[in-house]
Amino acid sequence: MEKIAVSIITIGDELLIGQVIDTNSAWMGQELNRNGIWVARRVAVGDIRDDIRAALDEEFKRSPIILITGGLGPTADDITKPVLADYFGGKLVVDEGALDNVRKIFARLQRPMIDRNLQQAEVPDTCTVVPNRRGTAPGMWFEREGRICVAMPGVPHEMKGMMTDDVIPRIRTRFQLPFIAHRTLLTAGIGESFLAEHIKAFEGSLPPSIRLAYLPNYGMVRLRLTVRGEDAAGSTGTLQSSFDTLKGLVAEWMVTDQDITIQEAIGGLLKQRGQTVGTAESCTGGNIAHLITSIPGSSHYFKGSIVSYANEVKTGLLHVDPNILATEGAVSQPTVEAMVRGALEQLDTDYVIATSGIMGPDGGTPEKPVGTVWIAVGNRQHILAQKFSFRFGRGRNIELTSTNALNQLRKFILAAG
């Protein structure tokens, strides 16, 4: 079956200068791919008329569908709408449905409207309006010579609503799309290249309908199998069979056979056992607590964190013996073990993670260079500490420490039974 290709154009100077990160394209790509729609290109352009027109000309040569986000707001730099009106040979008119939507939103917010707000309801008369159920700027669906162009707001929440409720369903009615499905697992404790070498024979034996992708991130590697075909039942069976084989090959390093984060996997373990965890963090500065609490429902198993960045907090709150700090240093096995014991008492949890290290760029010594980290996890019966040596910048070292600490906790929980 022929691929249905889509080009994504994101508009805004803020995207080009890095002031705003383009998360829209990533989300759109995932949703389109999930529906069997292939993203051929992603293009970012600034708020310049000629550049927007040139991007439209170029992408219409490549793809039957162009999806645009950005530039539909009420300010002078939002020029996407007039450019599209000119490009598709129309003029701006007031859409009564869009106008009614704007009025209702401002009435609900009890805010006065000005002419600039009313202009949000103007659309080119050559488009079909895509309703915005989450904001004021309507989307616009254009067609020319069998090709489709859809413009949506750059506000992620509004764009996602349009894509889910209107754009993708309408595309599905216009094109014959293949069945597509994914299976993803997460590994830790093995590098991408070693993992690839370990499963080389498996990858070489995959049927043509299945593709394997490696997705590395901060000491972990996700493996994703994707099947594409016309027969949903047959494709699903083939995918599951290959996935089961893959799980067996990487069982030693597999964190979860679901497309979830390690903190979600740990949350599931703790909820299943009715147990709790807390953190005593020095070098990670509360990042592990942030990762855990980013998961909805984490209040069921996470009690709190003591960010003991300074030694006086280690001694005052976690009751680390000052003699340990004086003789062994803050970045040492005895220190993180003492931090675990102190946090178990202070937080009254079943498990504790403790970290202490040198994240950089300063603070290293010949004996303890930048990237030296001690991680300890434990309960009231046992504490396990491990030394790590990372070699990156401060931000990446913090992330690597956090994910390795979470994985150490996961293994500790499983070993505890």
Phi, psi of 9 (to 5 degrees): -115, 120
Which structural domain range is residue 252 located in? 186-256
Whether residue 118 sits in one domain with residue 91: yes
What pLDDT is recorded for position 73?
Answer: 83
With a pLDDT cut of 70, the percent of the chain lying above it is 99
Mean pLDDT of all residues in 48-76: 93
231 and 275 in a common domain:
no
In terms of Cα–Cα distance, which of 340, 265, 260 is closest to 301?
Answer: 265
Q: For residue range 203-216, what is the model confidence (pLDDT) as tens digits? A: 999 999 999 999 99
What is the reported pLDDT for 204? 97
386 forms beta bridges with 375
Does residue 164 share a domain with residue 82?
A: yes
Residues 114, 192: one domain?
no
Shared domain for 310 and 247, answered yes or no, is no
Tens-place pLDDT, residues 94-108: 999 999 998 998 888
362-374 as b/e: b if 16+ CB within 10 A: eeeeeebebbbbb
Quick one: 196 and 342 in the same domain? no
Among 237, 256, 275, the domain-final residue is 256
Give, in order, the Cα–Cα distances in Å from 108 to each of 72, 111, 113, 123, 289: 22, 8, 12, 23, 37
Are residue 266 and residue 401 in the same domain, yes or no? yes
What Cα–Cα distance (Å) separates residue 76 from each residue in 7, 10, 53, 72, 379? 26, 18, 18, 10, 59
Please check the confidence at residue 233 and state whether its pLDDT lies above 50: yes
Distances (CA, A) of 150 to 8, 20, 147: 10, 22, 10
pLDDT tens readout for residues 354-363: 999 999 999 9
Rg (CA), the chain: 27
Tokens 């159920």 identify what position? 133
Query: Confidence class of residue 178 from pLDDT cuts 50, 70 and 90?
Result: confident
Whether residue 152 lies inside any domain: the answer is: yes
What is the per-residue pLDDT across 278-321, written as a single tens digit (0 to 9) for each?
A: 999 999 999 999 999 999 999 999 999 999 999 999 999 999 99
Q: How many residues does the chain have?
A: 417
| pLDDT of residue 118 exceeding 90 | no
Long-range contacts formed by 398-401: CB under 8 A, 24+ apart:
398/283, 398/284, 398/285, 398/287, 398/359, 399/218, 399/287, 400/218, 400/219, 401/283, 401/284, 401/355, 401/357, 401/359, 401/373, 401/375
> What value does the mean pLDDT of the chain take?
94
The DSSP symbol for 417 reads -
Report the pLDDT value the prediction gives residue 1, as an integer from 0 to 100.
46
Mean pLDDT over 109-122 rounds to 85
Instruction: Based on the fold, state whether residues 222 and 100 are members of the same structural domain.
Output: no
The tokens of 214 are what? 């490696």
- For residue range 361-376, list pLDDT tens digits in order: 999 999 999 999 999 9
Q: Which residues contact 230 (CB under 8 A, 6 or more apart)?
A: 1, 178, 179
Residue-wise pLDDT for 81-97, tens only, equals 999 999 999 999 999 99
User: What is the number of other CB atoms lying within 10 angstroms of the CB of residue 312?
Assistant: 11
CATH number where 209 lies: 3.30.70.2860
**Closest Cα partner for 12 from 60, 55, 41?**
55
The verdict on residue 100 lying in a domain is yes
Is the bond leading into 131 cis (omega within 30 degrees of zero)?
no
Same domain? For 10 and 136 the reply is yes
- Residue 180 belongs to some domain of the structure: no
The whole-number average pLDDT for the span 50-56 is 96
Could you say which of 226, 256, 286 is where a domain stops? 256
In a domain, 51, yes or no: yes
Residue 3: pLDDT over 70: no
Taking residues 135-159, what's their average pLDDT?
Answer: 94
Quick: pLDDT tens for 236-285.
Answer: 999 999 999 999 999 999 999 999 999 999 999 999 999 999 999 999 99
CATH number at residue 100: 3.40.980.10
Number of independent structural domains in the chain: 3
Same-domain pairing of 58 and 131: yes
CATH number, domain containing residue 320: 3.90.950.20
In a domain, 49, yes or no: yes
Q: Are 374 and 297 contained in the same domain?
A: yes
Could you write out the DSSP letters of every residue in 166-200? IIHHHHHHHS---EEEEEEEEEESS-HHHHHHHTH
- Residue 163: closest CA among 126, 142, 127, 133: 133
* Domain assignment of residue 130, yes or no: yes
Task: Indicate whether 244 belongs to any domain.
Answer: yes
Least confident of 37-46, 102-111, 212-221: 102-111
Q: Is residue 181 part of a domain?
A: no
Check residue 221 and give its pLDDT.
97
**3-state secondary structure at position 158:** helix
Look at residues 256, 283, 318 and tell me which one is the last residue of a structural domain.
256
CA 211 to mean position of chain CA atoms:
21
Residue 209 and residue 237 in one domain? yes
